[in-house]
Amino acid sequence: MKVGFHSPLPPARTGVADYSAALLAGLRKMGEVEVSAKQADIHLYHIGNNQLHLGIYRQALEQPGVVVLHDAVLQHLFLGSLTQTQYIEEFVYNYGEWKRGRAEQLWAERAASATDERYFRFPMLKRIVAASRAVIVHNAGAAGMVREHLPEARIFTIPHLFEPPAEIDPLAPMEFRRARGIAVDGCLFGVFGFLRESKRLLNVLEAFAQLRAALPTAALLVAGEFVSNDLERACVPLLAGPGLHRLPYLSERDFQVAASAIDVCVNLRAPSAGETSGIAVRMMGIGKPMLLTEGPESKAFPAGAFLPVPAGIAERSALADYMGILALNRPIRSEMGQAGIEGIGSLHSVETVSSLYWNALCSTAGLSASA
């Protein structure tokens, strides 16, 4: 069987590119896989909620195959690529003529789409799901979104993969902390990735400021690029506070050093687009306790590897409580880290995930796994 593989790949600065590179290597151990193939027995399309994926989305409609929804909300893909008329008609196709007024309102108020929950309540998946031979998602929340748009859709839920990082100098994480004046016995929290409103960074910074006032050895690393200028302006005063350490987008090697240096990773997502966080998987895979937004996207993660933070008005107080508990309890951090290593290593390995993909592709193509 020949598989056509369609996805952004490194050096594209996106988690989907890194994920796809690891998956591509795993699939090629099982059979013939060609990147951007014109002809294949089955095509595999990786779709996300940004303009990097627009061409792949359109190709998936023209030459249907199996679609991987890394984000199960495509609102922002359409807001950034369609005209007003096209957007409204796409919305009506998904939700019916009686929703035309809602479409007009969402288009008019689209400047708020990054944080307004209304946009996340309308994923606009119907066209790509209806056109595809099957859909792959990474969690039960995303599967539910797909079924709401097309109950008869053929869905495979496959865990997000974990690729063990390359070895680094074991002294590098200690040097990372020493260079920044972070106490050996201090708890270093970390936030990584593209910094957008859904990362809930303002609440993270405010909760950390509360912790730091009570525990001067605590520290917080914020690493990544701001996607929103408004969010960056709002965060600047808090980022200048005591115990805060700021880094830009990190190379793979620098990311590994920083990830190894932290004690706890904070990785919130609200509103959620049905995505499974690659950063969360990577961090748990190397034994870092996690603070994650409570929801169906995180339910399948290893029990005991993370603490669920409720979205909404209780978010900041829960964050402050959890950060305080973890900062003061090294044994709890160690137990959570071990739970992550064991759970991610068994369920999310490249070999396991690649095998599940290959079986899904063969089944959809009507071929045996050995064909």
Mean pLDDT by 10 residues, the chain (371 residues): 95 87 96 96 94 94 97 94 97 97 96 89 97 96 95 96 90 96 94 92 96 96 91 92 94 94 96 88 96 90 94 94 96 97 91 96 83 56
pLDDT of 299 reads 85
Produce one character per residue of 7-46: b if its CB has 16 or more CB atoms within 10 Å, e if not: bbbeeeebbbbbbbbbbbebbeebbebeeebeebbbbbbb
Instruction: Choose among 341, 264, 343: nearest CA to 309.
Output: 264
3-class SS shares of the chain: helix, strand, coil, % to 5 = 50, 15, 35
Q: Report domain extents, the chain.
A: 2-74+123-161+349-365, 172-347
Identify the pLDDT of residue 144.
94
Q: Helix 278-285 crosses helix 330-347 at what angle (to 10 degrees)?
A: 110
- Look at residue 369 in the predicted model and tell me its pLDDT: 63
pLDDT at position 370 is 59
pLDDT, residue 52, reads: 85
- Which pLDDT score is estimated for 368? 67
Q: Could you give the CA distance from residue 191 to residue 301 in angstroms, rounded to a whole number?
A: 19
pLDDT at site 330 = 95
CATH architecture observed for domain 172-347? 3-Layer(aba) Sandwich (3.40)
Q: Do domains 2-74+123-161+349-365 and 172-347 have the same CATH topology?
A: yes
Judge whether 133 and 163 are in contact, CB under 8 Å. Answer: no
- Whole-model pTM? 0.90
What pLDDT sits at residue 273? 82
Fold (CATH) for 2-74+123-161+349-365:
Rossmann fold (3.40.50)
Question: DSSP alpha helices (H): ranges in 223-349?
Answer: 229-239, 252-261, 278-285, 315-328, 330-347
Write down the pLDDT at residue 12: 85
